[in-house]
Amino acid sequence: MILFDRVTLGYGRKVILRDVSFSMQSGEYFGLVGPNGAGKTTILRAILGTLKPQAGTVTMRGPEGRPLRFGYVPQRDSIDSVIPYAARDVVMMGRYRDIGLLRLPGNADQLAVMHSLRQVGVEDLAGSVFRDLSGGQKQRVLIARALASNPDVLVLDEPTNGMDLASRVAMLDLIDTLHSRDHLTVIMVSHLLDDVANHARLIALVESGFFQVGPVGEVLTGENLSALYRTPVQVNQVGARTVVTVGVRNERH
């Protein structure tokens, strides 16, 4: 589905990541993890096709050989709307590619917008002004917009950033549901290790000069994370959950 073969990425003459290779199949839940500024968004842009590799090849193949369709959910703080678009207007933007040039949205597009809002549980917010919504509500509307574009792959950039615990859990549950119920391939970028550790199946650890990819259980180890963050990190199992702790705790006797 997605194949990176010895890909070098950067901007201008600056190289961010060198010789990155990995592949991802349809139906995967893929997490990209690393410190801020490590190059996660750079890889994301290469996957989305908005950044061309400086070297190597990126191959994308959708179902039946057609091009892959991505539904992109940007960091919600990157959207600073002066104009008071309603949530349904924002979701409609996801339909624009299929509507095409010089054509207006039709009934089918309106229905698709409402269906997408229903999928993420905010149908009642269709008429609300997007910029007035809470962080969690905005994130759901942006996911609805991505779904409205009929994607093969849902790509989320830091979807839980800045959320309180309850909103964060609800957001991750929603992404899990879209992955399992609607069979969507998911790519999620996060600097929050716990988010990825307990939801993704495939994980890539990203840092300048360090790129490792594989199943969560194999890659998400204390040794790898300690090297990545240059600080002692422990990975523990608490019940069915993976818990990542940073630093060495002094034990009391």
Binding site for other proteins (CB under 8 A): 48-50, 70, 72, 74, 78-86, 89-90, 93-94, 96-97, 99, 101-102, 129, 145, 149, 155
Dist CA 45 CA 54 (whole Å): 13
CB of residue 84 vs other proteins: minimum separation in angstroms? Answer: 4
Q: Residue holding tokens 């009391």? A: 252
Taking the complex as a whole, the smallest distance from the CB of residue 74 to other proteins amounts, in Å, to 5
Nearer to other proteins by Cβ, of 22 and 96: the residue is 96
* Cβ closest to other proteins, residue 15 vs residue 93: 93
Q: Checking phi first, is residue 221 left (phi over 0); if not, alpha (psi -120 to 50) or beta?
A: beta
Least Å from the CB of residue 48 to other proteins: 5
Q: How far is the CB of 126 from other proteins (least distance, A)?
A: 14
Q: How far is the CB of 243 from other proteins (least distance, A)?
A: 33
Query: How far is the CA of 214 from the CAs of 18, 29, 31, in angstroms?
Result: 18, 12, 10
> Smaller CB distance to other proteins: residue 3 or 86?
86
Residue 14 CA: distances (Å) to CA of 119, 204, 208:
41, 22, 12
- Give me the residue label for tokens 């002066």: 82
Of 48 and 114, the one with the shorter C-beta distance to other proteins is 48
* Cβ atoms within 10 Å, residue 224: 18
Q: Encoding tokens for residue 101?
A: 């040039």
143/233 with CB nearer other proteins: 143
Smallest Cα–Cα separation from 142: which of 171, 179, 183? 171
